[in-house]
Amino acid sequence: MKIAIMGYGTVGSGVYEVLVTNAAGIATRAGEAITVERILDLREFPDHPEAHKFTKNVDDIINDKEIGLVVETMGGTEPAFTFACRAMKSGKSYVTSNKELVAAKGPELMALAEENGVSFLFEASVGGGIPIIMPLKECLAGNEISEIMGILNGTTNYILTQMFSCGASFADALAEAQKKGYAEANPDADVLGYDTCRKIAILTSLACGKHVDFSRIPTEGITGIDEIDVAFAESLRSSVKLVGYSSVKDGKAYCRVAPMVIPHDHPLYSVEDVFNAILVTGNAIGDCMFYGRGAGKLPTASAVVSDVIAATTGKISIPPTWKRTDEDVFADVSSSASRRMIRVSSDAAEDVKALFTCISSATTPKAPNEIAFTIDAVSEADFAEKAAKLGDKLIKSIYLA
Amino acid sequence: MKIAIMGYGTVGSGVYEVLVTNAAGIATRAGEAITVERILDLREFPDHPEAHKFTKNVDDIINDKEIGLVVETMGGTEPAFTFACRAMKSGKSYVTSNKELVAAKGPELMALAEENGVSFLFEASVGGGIPIIMPLKECLAGNEISEIMGILNGTTNYILTQMFSCGASFADALAEAQKKGYAEANPDADVLGYDTCRKIAILTSLACGKHVDFSRIPTEGITGIDEIDVAFAESLRSSVKLVGYSSVKDGKAYCRVAPMVIPHDHPLYSVEDVFNAILVTGNAIGDCMFYGRGAGKLPTASAVVSDVIAATTGKISIPPTWKRTDEDVFADVSSSASRRMIRVSSDAAEDVKALFTCISSATTPKAPNEIAFTIDAVSEADFAEKAAKLGDKLIKSIYLA
């Protein structure tokens, strides 16, 4: 199998490295050798051992009839979408780590793959190296999936871990993450939750077999989490994680991206630093969790290469996993119920107890005029109404796992 | 797709239940309805809604040309092996939860499946509902797997969790497990590690592509774990788990089943009660972990049904994942290095420090004349030699993660 890599950044070069390093084992498991024939990148790589394989012209790949599969690790919807369409129409399978592409154009690309008898695979688009797309699609296919909770972004999880373990402020933890190369110079896609949003949209689409439009998912990042939230969570033996959440019932999905308070006995509690984890609940399996490195050169390349091997061994022409539908896939948000941690002014304690079913409460020397309560599940509509009664006394609300 | 179920115990009846309950979704994902045509069991089920489908004669299934797939949940090598051979030779795919069968006859059955152009799938044989066989085989196919650590038996994990959380003795915790239906009347297969042994043999065979003979894996259960071990482990902020362990290097495997002391910051530490988890290390992905219910009616059925769907959607005639080889797959045990927790008499502290690189030490009021050390990795040969020098002063040694 001769392949091309489009985009020779961190992940693309990792794919090359894994294919070279593990060549013998990969050839055994794929049933044939997998060799990189061309590499597309606008930059120059004169010192690369196979510098002659680089090209800046995508036609060199599309028109090469020897190339049976294209790996795309460029990111972004365009030109990836155009390239994907051209590659698959030319009879080449398409393997991508590009979550923007899958979240925006998944149904069209899966249909195109079926039409052309090729594979369109995207294990690396969610959870980096963690096997989650194939397990969710195939290994849990006997289940109706009712809930997905994912720590899906390593950058924000690193920042939150620093805020908890070192008492760092958000700004300091972000700066540290940037210094270590975990966060980009413009960290918005990570810290504002946009990255997690696309990933939970993909997982939810898989779970319900219908396209979930990421742009309609309420998305809140971690920029609003402060040291007082951290202190209250700690005194409740809990942590705070950015969670891509969805619950699915009767084919309708309720999705959100938001920080969540995670109690110490919850499986996601001990997922720290740049690790990711996805907790999936199905009606037969119950809870199961997938944990590992959600980003990085070689872990993400691991997922890409597994897709390359799967496409090579002949899992071609798979029917689309999900489709766009005319009916609205989103459930009525107002009726969905969630537990919460709320911070209120100290004089509101009695009001809170009258309005909500309280689970526990906490105080912290960092905010002597406040008290935090964990409260049992109430619907969004109910919460809004009761929150209005508390008025200014309600300082903040964070979802609770 | 018309199928038969052979063995209508806990798992077999769970498979029926999942196929009925989730019929609509399963039909969508499999591309066609999956219906149970015959059920083989020696017992009577007169009150079953489809009592007419039961038979005591396997020929009714083998000779039924309409049946394209057989689910076997009987357990044991025979008659399952004979039935599997007959089913596949008759052109039927074979899906099993039977770890004894896969560990003993995997290579023969995979070869027979290939010859006959059918599927032989066994996701449910390890880790109950947890997706691990397909993820290891396909999603990590780009990796060289270097290490597998699995909590693979729910019964022993429940017993150990009780010993830690309630201070129960092994005997009391076993009795409690039997009362709750987690342990069988004859608990040997679980508590002596035989069940874990077959499961780690299957996972290691997958990881190295060669058949690992379970009968040659050193296997120690949890019957030797006492309240003093628990007390020492607790004062070291650790737990004790029964771990199926293998490391693979240059195609050779070092395997064992033994209790291990698991420190509090290790991903396996918080796996409690009847949950299972498998930690896999690959040279691209790093560490990843799969967690969920390792046994039970519906979780195990979840894995069986996913295989039924995979076979139905056409993943037939897969080349054998591993084969028997003439070369010895086992590495020289004496050179493999492991960390340990050792219990010694108090007067041996200086000897221990002179012989080993100590990491930490602990005492417990439960054994005032003892001290426990955690020691850095030494080879089996080295450890045996140094243990001999300690003589009677060495009371016990337990592997340390």
Residues of A in contact with B293 (CB under 8 A): 285-288
Q: Which of A187-196, A262-271, A309-318, A336-345 is the least confident region?
A: A309-318
In three-state secondary structure terms, B228 is helix
Q: Which among B142, B291, B315 is the nearest to A22, CB-wise?
A: B142
Determine contact, residues A15/A71, Cβ cutoff 8 Å.
yes
Q: What residue in A sits closest to B283 (Cα-Cα)? A: A298
Residues of A in contact with B308 (CB under 8 A): 142
The continuous run of DSSP H or E covering B359 comes out as: strand B358-362
- What is the pLDDT averaged over residues A213-226? 97
Residue A295: per-residue pLDDT: 87
The catalytic residue among B53, B92, B99, B199 is B199
**pLDDT tens digits, A136-162:** 999 999 999 999 999 999 999 999 999
In single-letter form, the type of residue at position B327 comes to E
**pLDDT tens digits, A73-90:** 999 999 999 999 999 999
Length of chain A: 401
Smallest CA–CA distance, residue B98 to chain A, in Å, is 17
Rounded distance between C-alpha atoms, residue A175 and residue A180, angstroms: 9
Checking if the pLDDT of A316 tops 70, the result is no
Smallest CA–CA distance, residue B351 to chain A, in Å, is 37
Residue B316: per-residue pLDDT: 53
Q: Give me the helices (H) in B148-252, please.
A: 154-165, 170-179, 188-191, 194-208, 227-235
Class level of CATH domain A133-293 = alpha beta
Residue B318: per-residue pLDDT: 67
List residues of A with catalytic annotation.
Answer: 199
Residues of A in contact with B19 (CB under 8 A): 142
- B114: contact with A, CB 8 A cutoff: no
Average per-residue pLDDT for chain A = 95
Smallest CA–CA distance, residue B90 to chain A, in Å, is 25
Residue B367: per-residue pLDDT: 97
- A101: contact with B, CB 8 A cutoff: no
Q: Which of residues 31-60 of B touch A (CB under 8 A)?
A: 31
The dihedral through the CA atoms of B205, B201, B215, B184 has a sign that is: negative
Q: Which among A29, A30, A143 is the nearest to B302, CB-wise?
A: A143
Checking if the pLDDT of A92 tops 70, the result is yes
- A129: contact with B, CB 8 A cutoff: yes
Q: What is the 3-state secondary structure (H, E, C) of A313-336?
A: CCCCCCCCCCECCCCCCECCHHHC
Q: What residue in A sits closest to B295 (Cα-Cα)? A: A285
Rounded distance between C-alpha atoms, residue A161 and residue A243, angstroms: 14
- B270: contact with A, CB 8 A cutoff: yes
Residues of B in contact with A129 (CB under 8 A): 284-286, 288
Smallest CA–CA distance, residue B25 to chain A, in Å, is 7
CATH architecture of B333-400: 2-Layer Sandwich (3.30)
Residues of A in contact with B139 (CB under 8 A): 123, 131, 134-135, 303, 306
Checking if the pLDDT of A250 tops 90, the result is no
Given an 8 Å threshold on Cβ–Cβ distance, is B130 in contact with A288?
A: yes
Residues of A in contact with B267 (CB under 8 A): 270, 291
Q: What share of chain A in percent tops pLDDT 90?
A: 93
Residue B6, classified by CB atoms within 10 Å of its CB into exposed (0-12), middle (13-18) or buried (19+), is: buried
B361-365, long-range: CB < 8 A, 24+ apart:
B362/B232, B362/B235, B362/B236, B363/B235, B364/B228, B364/B231, B364/B232, B364/B235, B365/B231
Given an 8 Å threshold on Cβ–Cβ distance, is B288 in contact with A130?
A: yes
Q: Which of residues 214-253 of A touch B (CB under 8 A)?
A: none
* pLDDT confidence bin for A320, thresholds 50/70/90: confident
Q: Which among B129, B285, B305 is the nearest to A293, CB-wise?
A: B285
Residues of A in contact with B283 (CB under 8 A): 21-22, 298
Smallest CA–CA distance, residue A25 to chain B, in Å, is 7
| Weakly modelled stretches of chain B, pLDDT under 50 | 317
Residues 6+ apart with CB under 8 A from A246: A147, A148, A200, A203, A204, A207, A212, A253, A254, A255, A256
Phi, psi of A386 (to 5 degrees): -70, -35
- A144: contact with B, CB 8 A cutoff: yes
Q: What residue in A sits closest to B24 (Cα-Cα)? A: A144
Determine contact, residues B329/B211, Cβ cutoff 8 Å.
yes
**pLDDT tens digits, A42-62:** 999 999 999 999 999 999 999
Given an 8 Å threshold on Cβ–Cβ distance, is B26 in contact with A141?
A: yes
Determine contact, residues B307/B95, Cβ cutoff 8 Å.
yes
Query: In terms of DSSP bridges, do strands A2-6 and A35-40 run parallel, antiparallel, or are they unpaired?
Result: parallel
Domain range annotation of chain B: 2-128+299-312, 133-293, 333-400
Residues of B in contact with A25 (CB under 8 A): 144
- What is the pLDDT averaged over residues A165-173? 93
Residues of A in contact with B24 (CB under 8 A): none
Q: Which among A142, A270, A291 is the nearest to B22, CB-wise?
A: A142
Given an 8 Å threshold on Cβ–Cβ distance, is A26 in contact with B267?
A: no
- What is the pLDDT averaged over residues A236-247? 97
Q: Which among A134, A209, A282 is the nearest to B302, CB-wise?
A: A282
Smallest CA–CA distance, residue B72 to chain A, in Å, is 17
Q: Which among A283, A288, A309 is the nearest to B291, CB-wise?
A: A288
CATH classification code of B2-128+299-312: 3.40.50.720
